[in-house]
């Protein structure tokens, strides 16, 4: 701290900063790790802390100038929040842990397991696949019970005074009871819809008795070896309450789909699941994420079941159990396949729930005040809670240049030389740290884009929680609904308004630069800041153009062998990709395909499925003809009993899908990422405006956006293109 506080002058600061940047570049280019990782973070921290000291002591306007001092203080607070979050996150991820595979035990030593699939309004097809995949997991069958916990068919809903609600709930109740009977799993609907998902899970605890509890969301189908990869840890550690695995998605989120990045760019959740959770695991602070996890019943019993004070019952439950001395493990291997929200509205709804729930935990169950936690655990949970304050910080960063350009508020007192010596070098170092830690799971500028998209609506959510911490209600995220044609999102208009405001302020900055030469240097800096906001807001207009879902948008890469049978004709085929409704098959090029034009019914026959009690034939529709790559497409025509073979084909081995995702984890240069962002900002504003003005729905054959990354065809043999919080 003594060295950080030393006054060295602007030139001396620039020399120190450039020397550090050179050192960090060498460590990054040589991909040095181990001790060098700590050296990298320590040296980078010197520049960050020197900036924080200079920012605190030299850049605030006089306190008696309230017109400028108050907004300046708000901006300063936002910057200090970022530095605090950087410090906490560096601690969290400084030494991530890679777990050894779960130990294996004889069948007679394995614990009994209850699998809970909580549901509210999901369709029969989604549930059938998840339940069939859960039942097919490798485990002694006399020790495994599957429960569908149906909150859409409760007694309360079936007796609702609203006849439409009562009728819908009654139909759903009978339909899902029949589904569960046909699949050989247990159905349970509680009496009342109280405490949302936490209450539903607790109702499941009341009617079951297994040693361990596994939770899968309704759209999270598990791989066959899920229990093999997780259960063994519990026999080694009697204080273990949780084994959490990553959430892994078959489809793109709205940003990935609408900007065309899904085939090349690492998914948004990979930074959390592939980096941050591993860092949390080092401090015994990896937490329950609501699904794809195994929990110990005795631990849950000790705290009265799943916590329901907040709407993020998963993190809240883990916090309570960690404070009681229980331990957790994170296994960095995707073992389920789920669905992400398809529309921007459902995406924002999901993130609003996460945001409100995490802030509820901070206000109602503050980890700094929670007894029983270690200091690293307190910091780890605080990091997860404080992260969701980012919308307020982003709001400050968006508003700050507008306040100077439009209202002449002096909120950042610095010369041009000081700005480059301290601020610019600090921003460069901070970006180098993010790239060093997260570069292969998060492209430059993508965090800014995701956070801007969410900020527009999450600011109001944060304020509502602070005003009434106990009022938020659990909302179910809508998933699995295909978008039939290109159109504007129902949430588009605020993004248009903000983009217009940024453009107007940029024009004013240019005018003032030409007419007020005495502050031209400061206007140049603030104008560049505002220009960056224009670029981010322009790129975001590409996200509000909801693109039609690709036919294979939910497909998983797969490995499997079947026979395509039509009448007496049979052709061996390999399953290249598959979804719950269709598959892409690769027959031998020399094979003669059955001619469906002569009639008859087609089936996929998988004889090796029979020994496990899985039905071996699956009815499909097949129109004949090969694609350019030699493949053929079939669409499933399943009854309930056929979901067992669909689950077997999809979820027996997720290795191809895991490998495809791992291939996308390649660093992308800041130059290429900047060009891509600029290209989106140039292309999408006029395209979105044209759709808004004319009501025209963009066709599938319209030219693709300049700079967009074309998605790799799902299931093809092609490799993805190469490419913080």
Q: 610 pLDDT exceeds 70?
A: no
Q: 609 pLDDT exceeds 80?
A: no
Q: 552 pLDDT exceeds 80?
A: no
- CA atoms of 381 and 369, how far apart (whole Å): 11
Q: Which two tokens stand for residue 465?
A: 């929680």
> Do you know the residue count of the chain?
725
> pLDDT per residue over 452-485, tens digit each?
999 999 999 999 999 999 888 877 777 666 677 8
CATH superfamily entry for domain 107-221: Spore Coat Polysaccharide Biosynthesis Protein SpsA; Chain A (3.90.550.10)
Spans of all domains in the chain:
107-221, 559-652
> pLDDT per residue over 179-207, tens digit each?
999 999 999 999 999 999 999 999 999 99
Contact 262, 256 (CB under 8 A): yes
Return the ∠ at Cα 246 (arms to 716 and 666), rounded to 5°.
Answer: 50
Residue 284 C-alpha from the chain's centroid? 22
Q: How many CB atoms lie within 10 A of CB 92?
A: 25
Q: 279 pLDDT exceeds 50?
A: yes
pTM: 0.90
Could you give the strand order of the β-sheet that contains 144-150, starting from the edge strand earlier in sequence? 186-188, 144-150, 113-119, 212-215, 293-296, 240-244, 327-330
Sequence-separated (6 or more) residues with CB below 8 Å from residue 311: 196, 353, 356, 357, 360, 472, 473, 474
Q: Which two tokens stand for residue 414?
A: 């610095």
Ordered DSSP codes for 490-526: TTHHHHHHHHHHHHHHHHHHHHHHHH-GGGHHHHHHH
Known catalytic residues?
151, 314
Question: Given this model, what pLDDT does residue 563 score?
Answer: 87
- Is beta strand 602-605 parallel, antiparallel or unpaired with respect to 617-622? antiparallel
Place of tokens 């592939």: 274
Question: Given this model, what pLDDT does residue 549 score?
Answer: 74
User: Average pLDDT of 94-100?
Assistant: 91
- CA atoms of 646 and 142, how far apart (whole Å): 23
Choices 2.40.10.220, 2.40.37.10, 3.90.420.10, 3.40.50.720: CATH for 559-652: 2.40.10.220
Give the single-character DSSP code of 313. Answer: H
Q: How confident is the model at residue 694 (pLDDT cuts 50, 70, 90)?
A: confident
User: Average pLDDT of 410-421?
Assistant: 89
Ordered DSSP codes for 210-233: -SEEEE--TT-EEPTTTTTTTTHH
Question: Given this model, what pLDDT does residue 234 score?
Answer: 98
Terminal alpha carbon distance of the chain: 26
Q: How confident is the model at residue 553 (pLDDT cuts 50, 70, 90)?
A: low
Ordered DSSP codes for 363-379: HHS-TTT-TT--HHHHH
Q: Is 600 exposed, middle or buried (0-12, 13-18, 19+ CB in 10 A)?
A: middle
> pLDDT per residue over 560-581, tens digit each?
888 888 877 888 888 988 988 8
Question: Given this model, what pLDDT does residue 603 score?
Answer: 83
């Amino acid at each position: 701290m003594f060295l950080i506080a030393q006054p060295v002058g602007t030139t001396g600061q620039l020399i120190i900063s450039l020397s550090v940047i050179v050192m960090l570049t060498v460590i990054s280019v040589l991909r040095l790790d181990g001790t060098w990782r700590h050296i990298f973070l320590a040296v980078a921290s010197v520049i960050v802390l020197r900036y924080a000291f200079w920012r605190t002591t030299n850049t605030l306007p006089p306190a008696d100038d309230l017109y400028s001092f108050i907004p300046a203080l708000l901006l300063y607070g936002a910057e200090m929040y970022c530095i605090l979050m950087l410090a906490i996150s560096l601690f969290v991820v400084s030494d991530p842990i890679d777990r050894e595979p779960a130990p294996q035990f004889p069948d007679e030593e394995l614990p009994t397991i209850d699998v809970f699939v909580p549901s509210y309004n999901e369709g029969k097809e989604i549930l059938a696949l998840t339940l069939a995949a859960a039942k097919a997991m490798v485990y002694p069958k006399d020790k495994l019970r599957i429960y569908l916990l149906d909150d859409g068919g409760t007694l309360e809903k079936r007796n609702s005074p609203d006849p439409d609600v009562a009728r819908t709930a009654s139909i759903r109740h009978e339909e899902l009871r029949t589904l569960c009977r046909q699949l050989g799993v247990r159905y349970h609907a509680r009496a009342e819809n109280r405490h949302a998902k936490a209450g539903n899970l607790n109702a499941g605890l009341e009617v079951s008795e297994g040693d361990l509890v596994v939770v899968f969301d309704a759209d999270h189908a598990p791989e066959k070896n899920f229990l093999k990869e997780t259960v063994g840890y519990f026999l080694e550690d009697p204080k273990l309450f949780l084994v959490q695995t990553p959430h892994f998605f078959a489809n793109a989120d709205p940003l990935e789909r609408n900007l065309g990045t899904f085939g090349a760019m690492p998914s948004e959740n990979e930074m959390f699941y592939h980096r941050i959770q591993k860092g949390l695991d080092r401090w015994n602070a990896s937490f329950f994420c609501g699904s794809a996890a195994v929990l110990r019943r005795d631990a849950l019993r000790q705290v009265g079941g799943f916590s329901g004070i907040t709407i993020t019952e998963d993190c809240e439950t883990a916090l309570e159990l960690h404070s009681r001395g229980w331990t957790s493990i994170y296994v960095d291997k995707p073992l389920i396949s789920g669905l992400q929200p398809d529309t921007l509205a459902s995406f924002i709804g999901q993130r609003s729930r996460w945001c409100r729930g995490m802030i509820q935990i901070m206000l109602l169950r503050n980890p700094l005040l929670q007894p029983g936690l270690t200091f690293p655990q307190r910091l780890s949970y605080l990091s997860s809670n404080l992260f969701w304050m980012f919308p307020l910080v982003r709001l400050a960063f968006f508003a700050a240049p507008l306040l100077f350009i439009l209202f002449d508020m002096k909120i950042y007192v610095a010369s041009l030389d000081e700005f480059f010596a301290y601020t610019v070098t600090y921003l460069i170092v901070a970006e180098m740290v993010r790239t060093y830690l997260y570069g292969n799971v998060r492209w430059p500028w993508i965090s800014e884009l995701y956070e801007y998209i969410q900020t527009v609506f999450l600011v109001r959510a944060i304020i509502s929680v602070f005003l009434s911490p106990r009022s938020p209600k659990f909302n179910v995220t809508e998933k699995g609904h295909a978008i039939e044609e290109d159109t504007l999102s129902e949430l588009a208009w605020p993004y248009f308004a903000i983009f217009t405001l940024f453009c107007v302020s940029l024009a004013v900055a240019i005018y003032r630069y030409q007419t007020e030469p005495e502050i031209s240097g400061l206007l140049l800096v603030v104008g560049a800041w505002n220009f960056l906001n224009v670029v981010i807001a322009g790129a975001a207009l590409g996200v509000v153009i909801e693109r039609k879902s690709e036919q294979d948008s939910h497909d998983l890469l797969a490995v499997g062998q079947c026979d395509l049978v039509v009448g007496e004709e049979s052709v061996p085929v390999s399953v290249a990709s598959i979804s719950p409704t269709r598959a892409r098959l690769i027959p031998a090029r020399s094979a003669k395909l059955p001619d469906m034009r002569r009639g008859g019914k087609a089936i996929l026959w998988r004889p090796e499925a029979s020994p496990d009690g899985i039905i071996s034939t699956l009815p499909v529709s097949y129109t004949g003809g090969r694609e350019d790559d030699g493949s053929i497409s079939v669409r499933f025509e399943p009854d309930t009993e056929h979901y067992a073979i669909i689950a077997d084909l999809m979820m027996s081995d997720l290795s191809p899908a895991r490998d495809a995702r791992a291939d996308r984890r390649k660093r992308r240069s800041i130059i290429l990422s900047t060009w891509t962002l600029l290209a989106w900002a140039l292309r999408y504003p006029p395209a979105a405006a044209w759709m808004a003005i004319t009501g025209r729905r963009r066709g599938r054959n319209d030219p693709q956006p300049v700079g967009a990354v074309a998605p790799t065809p799902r299931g093809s043999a092609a490799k993805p293109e190469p490419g913080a919080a």
